[in-house]
Amino acid sequence: MIKINENFLELQESYLFSTIAKKVADFQSKNPDKKIIKLGIGDVTRPIVPAVVKAMKKAVEEQGKAETFRGYGPAEQCYDFLKEKIAKFDYKKRGVEVLPDEIFVSDGAKCDCGNIGDIFGVDNVVAITDPVYPVYLDTNVMAGRAGKYKAETGTYENMIYMPATAENGFVPSFPEKVPDMIYLCLPNNPTGTTLTKAQLKMWVDYAKKNKAIILFDAAYEAFISEESVPHTIYEIEGAKEVAIEFRSFSKTAGFTGIRCAYTVVPKTLKGYTKSGEEVSIYNLWNRRRATKFNGVSYPVQRAAEAVYSEEGQKQIKENIQYYMENAKMIKEGLQAAGYTVFGGVNAPYIWLKVPDGMTSWEFFDKLLAEANVVGTPGVGFGPSGEGYFRLTAFGTRENTLEAIERIKNRV
Ligand code: MLT
């Protein structure tokens, strides 16, 4: 008899964005004449920039000729041409030393954030901020670290939830119980808020003191506009001893449909056996990758490399600017309409307070029915997200402006 992984039975309903997609599809089928504007899932709308298209086409041509054809690439990391660019442009330029060999290129930060759990014991105590990108929680539920779901509180018995709400300025406090694994996403999805270097340093020091690891998701790094905000956790002294960093080309360069990301696992990072012996985390991740992954396709790696070319940088920055103008318009438009709004300055997400007396799903339904605009209910990101709602700045300009007008006039 085949036994299932019963941890999966502890998962709540479907994945958040699948639930939303289903609700929207139901509404559209009952209201075929309505033009729905989707500002729910953070999917980009600007096309791939010309420098990237050119590089990808060239790489495809190379694959069609015997002299330049390439089969399997290096499975553990990626081609040298890409890891060297990443190390130089994303780290060295910021005064941070990350070795090309510490960079593992993959098909997505979502996959990496989930897969990284393979190398950590199931008895580790996990801390997440609340609200949180659901992948950190759900993958720990699947692994068995989260324990049983408690319907009364909407939380899992073994997880540590660190609230980040307007009350604490979206700065989570250190939990009472000491965690072994700490997920931080900065700039934050979903709240669009972030921490200063000084605040992040406190987390690095805390992890060091407790021999914990920080799983640092920096997928929205490219959207930072304020000086005091770190672009990488490795700007903080000591972080290479306690942190893994996840980065993505999805939002930075419009790769949501192309798929490319990377994870930095410093060679200095140590984990421990039950008896307290030190083990290289780098070696474990390298070993996992060699066994379970065959690398990202050559044309996609060439596409990612082109992001770092002079024209690639200029072109992607124009798109980032475009989205951040959307963010500013949403923020100012909603503020003018009387909403309390957060985020949108260092991140492409706007986090707003839903009107008093409504739950975030009620606001979702109202917005869909009355303005035909889709957002993401805050509670879908965790219990402390109740009473909040997320809008993405990744829409087209036209749709963004229309959505703001509809919310102002109809809701
Ligand atoms: C989001 O909307 O939170 C993100 O687009 C989801 C993701 O990046 O996987």
Question: Structural domains in the chain?
Answer: 6-47+311-410 (3.90.1150.10), 54-309 (3.40.640.10)
Predicted pLDDT at 284: 98
- pTM for the full model? 0.96
Mean pLDDT within 388-407: 97
Predicted pLDDT at 342: 98
Mutation probe of ligand 1 site: the residue of 41, 138, 185, 255 with most atoms within 8 A of C-beta: 41
Mean pLDDT within 325-347: 97
Range of lowest pLDDT (72-81, 306-315, 391-400, 401-410): 72-81
* Amino acid identity, position 370: E
Instruction: Tell me the C-alpha distance between 212 and 376, whole Å.
Output: 32
The closest residue, in CA terms, to atom 1 on ligand 1 is: 42
Predicted pLDDT at 266: 98
Spacing, Cα 258 to ligand 1 middle (Å) = 15
Tell me the HSE value of 391 on the side-chain side, using a 13 A CA sphere: 33
Spacing, Cα 102 to ligand 1 middle (Å) = 25
Mean pLDDT within 49-58: 98
As separate numbers, helices (DSSP H) first and strands (DSSP E) second, the chain gives 12, 17
Is it the case that residue 15 has pLDDT exceeding 90?
Answer: no
Predicted pLDDT at 14: 75
Cα dihedral across residues 133, 135, 136, 142: positive or negative? positive
Range of lowest pLDDT (24-28, 97-101, 367-371, 407-411): 407-411
Stated as kind and residue range, the H or E segment containing 270 is: strand 270-272
Mean pLDDT within 29-51: 96
Name residues contacting ligand 1 (CB within 6 A). Answer: 41-43, 110, 133, 189
Predicted pLDDT at 146: 98
For the CA of 219, the closest atom of ligand 1 is: 8
Predicted pLDDT at 224: 98
* Amino acid identity, position 164: A
Is it the case that residue 305 has pLDDT exceeding 80?
Answer: yes
Mean pLDDT within 6-32: 92
Whether the CB-CB separation of 105 and 82 falls below 8 Å is answered with yes
Whether the CB-CB separation of 189 and 128 falls below 8 Å is answered with no
Instruction: Kindly give, in sequence order, each residue whose CB lies less than 8 Å from that of residue 4, ignoring residues fewer than 6 positions away.
Output: none
Average pLDDT, the chain: 96
Mean pLDDT within 305-326: 98
Predicted pLDDT at 17: 87
Is it the case that residue 210 has pLDDT exceeding 90?
Answer: yes
Q: Calculate the dihedral angle through the C-alpha atoms of 37, 15, 171, 194, rounding to the nearest 10 degrees.
A: -50
What pLDDT, in 10s, does the model give residues 89-105?
999 999 999 999 999 99
Instruction: Kindly give, in sequence order, each residue whose CB lies less than 8 Å from that of residue 154, ignoring residues fewer than 6 positions away.
Output: 379, 382, 383
Predicted pLDDT at 16: 85
Spacing, Cα 276 to ligand 1 middle (Å) = 37
Could you tell me which residues are beta bridge partners of residue 248? 261
Range of lowest pLDDT (7-16, 41-50, 106-115, 116-125): 7-16
Is it the case that residue 244 has pLDDT exceeding 80?
Answer: yes
Cis amide prior to 47 (ω within 30 degrees): no
The closest residue, in CA terms, to atom 9 on ligand 1 is: 110
Instruction: Tell me the C-alpha distance between 327 and 349, whole Å.
Output: 7
For the CA of 189, the closest atom of ligand 1 is: 3
Spacing, Cα 286 to ligand 1 middle (Å) = 26
The closest residue, in CA terms, to atom 4 on ligand 1 is: 42
Instruction: Kindly give, in sequence order, each residue whose CB lies less than 8 Å from that of residue 130, ignoring residues fewer than 6 positions away.
Output: 161, 162, 163, 164, 381, 382, 383, 384, 385
Spacing, Cα 40 to ligand 1 middle (Å) = 9
Tell me how far apart the terminal alpha carbons of the chain are, to the nearest angstrom.
Answer: 54
Spacing, Cα 107 to ligand 1 middle (Å) = 14
For the CA of 248, the closest atom of ligand 1 is: 8
